[in-house]
Amino acid sequence: MMPANEALLIIDYTNDFVATEGALTCGEPGQVLAPKIVTLADQMLETGGWVLLPTDVHTPHDPYHPESKLFPPHNVRHTWGRELYGPVKPWFDAHQVNDHVWLFDKTRYSAFAGTDLDLRLRERKIDTLHLVGVCTDICVLHTAVDAYNLGYNLIIHRSAVASFNPTGHAWALEHFANTLGAQVI
């Protein structure tokens, strides 16, 4: 059971990162996460916890954004690619009026970089973060590192994270446990 001082972060679970036709997709390893993510979200709300959806957003071909040199355009605002993937979309649509659920924009790998996430978590006395979503070795990893540096307890749900890079995925899971002291369950 997850108490009210905990939050589930569903990181970047969008069509571009998960759907078969996505611009930068994890494909099937990401797609199979949906039922587990929805179950964890329901459990979090049932116990009075919080469900946050930090979601990558971009402008196409932004010459000032460092990712423009690394990846094809993805998660462009107001496109199909940025919409939440599969059953997570209707789950969010049904729960978005709940004060314990919110989706917010992020423009960097970490959900903390350039956002008010830390402030909002501290206002709510949240000290433990459950991380799920994609990509294990990019946005989930960078969010975890920032959370660790800010003093949050971390729980990574092994069955609810994925990457398009199997080697990076495996490395990140070890890094969470061995370097960040996270519980990997």
Q: Distance from first CA to last CA of the chain, Å, rounded?
A: 14
Give the pLDDT score at 86.
97
Over its length of 185 residues, how does the chain's per-residue pLDDT go in tens digits? 456 799 999 999 999 999 999 999 999 999 999 999 999 999 999 999 999 999 999 888 777 877 877 877 788 899 999 999 999 999 999 999 999 999 999 999 999 999 999 999 999 999 999 999 999 999 999 999 999 999 999 999 999 999 999 999 999 999 999 999 999 99
Rg of the chain in Å (alpha carbons): 15
Amino acid at 38: V
Q: Which of 142, 156, 154 is nearest to 54 (CA)?
A: 142
Alpha-carbon distance of 34 to 85, in angstroms, equals: 8
Can you give the residue ranges of every domain in the chain? 6-184
Structure tokens at 25: 């997709």
**DSSP code for 85:** P
- How large is the angle between the packed helices 141-149 and 166-180, nearest 10 degrees? 10
Structure tokens at 44: 């979090």
Give the pLDDT score at 134.
98
3-state secondary structure 31-55: HCCHHHHHHHHHHHHHCCCEEEEEE
Question: In terms of CATH, what superfamily is 6-184?
Answer: Isochorismatase-like (3.40.50.850)
φ, ψ of residue 24 to 5 degrees: the values are: -145, 60
Give the pLDDT score at 67.
80
Structure tokens at 35: 């039922």
Give the pLDDT score at 3.
63
CB neighbours of 161 closer than 8 A, spacing ≥ 6? 33, 131, 132, 133, 134, 136, 140, 169, 172, 173
Strands (E) across 3-124 are located at 6-11, 50-56, 101-106
For 57, the 3-state DSSP assignment is coil
Amino acid at 3: P
